Chains A and B, each alone.
Chain A
Amino acid sequence: MAQSDDNMDLWLRALSGELTAEERLRLDRDDPEFAELEELAAIYDLARTEGSDEPLPASVADRIRAQAVLPSPTDAAAPSAVSPIQSQQARTPAPANAGLAWFAAAACLIAAIAGWWPAAPEPIETPAPAPTVAELRDQFATQAPDLVKFDLAGTEDPAASDETTGTVVWSQQAQRGFMTIENLSVNNPAEAQYQLWIFDGSREKHPVDGGVFDITDDGKVIVPIEAKLPVGAPTLFAITVERPGGVVVSDQGRIAMVGKVGA
Chain B
Amino acid sequence: MLAVLVGVESHVGLAPVRRVRNNPVMQSTLAADLTVLERIARGDSTAVDACIKTYGGLVWSIARRYFKRQADAEDAVQEVFLDLWKSAARFDRNQRSETVFVAMIAKRRVIDRFRAETRHPAAEELPPTGIENPHADANPEICTEAGQIRARLGDLRAEERDTLDLGVVYGYSHAEIAKKLDMPLGTVKSHMRRGLMRLKGWLDDEPEIK
Q: Could you tell me how many residues of chain B have their Cβ less than 8 Å away from some Cβ of chain A?
A: 106
Residue among A74, A139, A244 making CB contact with B122, cutoff 8 Å = A244
CA distance A246 to B126 in the complex (A): 14
Q: Are B130 and A53 in contact (CB under 8 A)?
A: yes
Q: Does residue A85 face the partner (Cβ distance < 8 Å to B)?
A: yes
Q: Does residue A120 face the partner (Cβ distance < 8 Å to B)?
A: yes
**A2 CB, nearest partner CB in chain B, Å:** 11
Please give, as numbers and ranges, the residues of chain A lying within 8 Å of B18 by CB-CB distance: 118, 122
Mask for A212-244, Cβ within 8 A of B = 1, else 0? 111010000001101011100000000000011
Please give, as numbers and ranges, the residues of chain B lying within 8 Å of A136 by CB-CB distance: 128-131
Please give, as numbers and ranges, the residues of chain B lying within 8 Å of A132 by CB-CB distance: 128
Please give, as numbers and ranges, the residues of chain A lying within 8 Å of B196 by CB-CB distance: 37, 40-41, 44
Mask for B44-75, Cβ within 8 A of A = 1, else 0? 11101100110011111110110010000010
Whether A38 touches B23, Cβ cut-off 8 Å, given contacts A16-B111, A54-B128, is: no
Cβ < 8 Å to A, chain B residues 125-163 = 125-136, 142-143, 145-147, 149-150, 153, 161-162
CA distance A41 to B100 in the complex (A): 10
Interface range for A: 35 or more
**A223 CB, nearest partner CB in chain B, Å:** 6
**B108 CB, nearest partner CB in chain A, Å:** 7
Cβ < 8 Å to B, chain A residues 71-111 = 71-76, 79-80, 82-83, 85
Q: Are B100 and A73 in contact (CB under 8 A)?
A: no
Residues of A within 8 A of B (CB): 1, 3, 8-9, 12-13, 15-18, 24, 36-57, 60-61, 63-65, 67-76, 79-80, 82-83, 85, 114-116, 118-120, 122, 124-125, 127, 130-133, 135-136, 139-140, 143, 174, 176, 189-190, 193, 205-206, 209, 211-214, 216, 223-224, 226, 228-230, 243-246, 248-249
